[in-house]
């Protein structure tokens, strides 16, 4: 917490605005809009997953449709596809950013068209805060006229060519879950330059109540709006977003400066024009065995680390899903490790992590 969150939460209680609307919700949405710029509109929601669900529905995804989704990501990127009776088509990564491969994306689209089933949407993810290949994937989206849902759950504060992530896709989504770079405890947002889409999202997120003096419903709706209390936390958190990004990037720089001399450790570089919030600091090792030796040694010191995301095309729940792969995400999963990355890590914490790793490698 940055310190001012309590003030806005107290305002919610003092004014009796506890419901999923109110001054904090409006102000939080405005602060996100100010941060992203680019004439976006914002709807604060209960979760990033809810934002993906609404985005798919807004784009007309329904039963029997195909939606292309990055395979190397958390399952929340793909789960909402199934809520609507649609099918995920998973696309593997490229090595420059670890995100969706434009080459395989084109292949997946052309395969769908050849089968008479053009995909309805593309869910591209800025993984671990690193922007995906926005220009290349955007060009493919334009060529085939398939809208992009820009999953920026991990990328608030990241930029591509100095433009904030979240403002590139037809619809962008943000997450404020407890583990994100800023948090509202639980929450998310849907973002779009299309004002009508965002207004429709708010309508659906508030149980799709028609404009009538009584309760009347002509559409299926959801209880997805953010509460005024949690939005108060978000207002305070947005005030320190820059500090949080600086802290995460400082963590990553420390790991890089102290470990890059070891041939067994590799870091993902920022391509030219890319700026990552470094939500998580990740390393690659030469093999599964070395990764596990590091992970277990850290665990012996009561230091948590985790393997990189297990690709969705390898997950049991999606075992029958169509996928276009090149082995990249499987290799990253086997060799990669997320190191402690919290914004409140102390110098002693960082030194402890690095000392443990060095002891293993030497």
- Quote the pLDDT of residue 113: 97
Give the Cα separation of 319 and 325 in Å (integer): 13
- Quote the pLDDT of residue 153: 97
pLDDT per 10-residue tile (average), the chain, 362 residues = 85 85 93 93 97 98 98 98 98 98 98 97 98 98 98 97 96 95 94 97 94 92 95 94 96 97 96 97 98 98 98 97 98 98 96 97 92
Helix segments in the chain, DSSP class H: 5-14, 23-36, 48-58, 79-83, 102-114, 134-144, 195-205, 228-238, 241-259, 288-300, 328-335, 347-361
Give the Cα separation of 121 and 128 in Å (integer): 22
Report phi then psi at 209, rounded to 5.
Answer: -80, 125
User: Would you say 333 and 311 are in contact if contact means Cβ atoms under 8 Å apart?
Assistant: yes
Which pTM does this prediction carry?
0.95
- Please identify which residue in the block is written with the tokens 């509109």: 41
- Quote the pLDDT of residue 234: 94
Structure tokens, 286: 């030469």
- Please identify which residue in the block is written with the tokens 């509460």: 227
Give the Cα separation of 74 and 127 in Å (integer): 9
- Please identify which residue in the block is written with the tokens 């993902």: 268
- Quote the pLDDT of residue 12: 87
Distances (CA, A) of 125 to 46, 83, 100, 149: 20, 19, 7, 9
């Amino acid at each position: 917490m940055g310190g001012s969150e309590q003030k806005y939460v107290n305002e919610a209680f003092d004014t009796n605005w506890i419901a999923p609307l109110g001054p904090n919700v409006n102000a939080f949405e405005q602060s996100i809009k100010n941060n992203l710029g680019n004439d976006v509109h914002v709807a604060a929601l209960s979760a990033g997953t809810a934002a993906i669900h609404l985005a798919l529905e807004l784009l007309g995804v329904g039963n029997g449709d195909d939606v292309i989704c990055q395979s190397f990501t958390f399952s929340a990127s793909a789960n909402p596809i199934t809520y609507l009776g649609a099918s995920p088509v998973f696309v593997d990564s490229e090595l420059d950013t670890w995100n969706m491969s434009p080459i395989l994306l084109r292949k997946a689209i052309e395969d769908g068209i050849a089968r008479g089933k053009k995909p309805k949407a593309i869910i591209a993810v800025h993984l671990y805060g690193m922007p995906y290949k926005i220009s290349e994937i955007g060009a493919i989206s334009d060529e085939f006229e398939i809208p992009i849902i820009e999953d920026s759950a991990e990328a608030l504060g990241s930029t591509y060519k100095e433009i904030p992530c979240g403002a590139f896709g037809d619809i962008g989504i943000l997450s404020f879950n407890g583990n994100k770079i800023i948090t509202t405890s639980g929450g998310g947002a849907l973002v779009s330059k299309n004002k009508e889409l965002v207004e429709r999202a708010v309508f659906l997120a508030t149980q799709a109540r028609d404009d009538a003096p009584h309760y009347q419903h002509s559409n299926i709706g959801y209880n997805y709006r953010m509460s005024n209390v949690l939005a108060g936390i978000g207002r305070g958190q947005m005030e320190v977003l820059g500090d949080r990004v600086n802290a995460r990037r400082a963590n990553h720089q420390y790991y890089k400066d102290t470990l890059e001399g070891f041939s067994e450790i590799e870091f993902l570089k920022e391509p030219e024009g890319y700026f990552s919030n470094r939500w998580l600091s990740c390393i690659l090792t030469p093999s599964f065995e070395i990764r596990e030796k590091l992970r277990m040694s850290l665990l012996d010191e009561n230091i948590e680390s985790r393997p990189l995301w297990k690709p969705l095309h390898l997950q049991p729940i999606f075992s029958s899903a169509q996928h276009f792969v090149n082995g990249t995400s499987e290799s990253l999963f086997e060799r990669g490790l997320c190191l402690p990355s919290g914004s409140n890590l102390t110098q002693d914490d960082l030194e402890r992590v690095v000392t443990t790793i060095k002891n293993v490698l030497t």
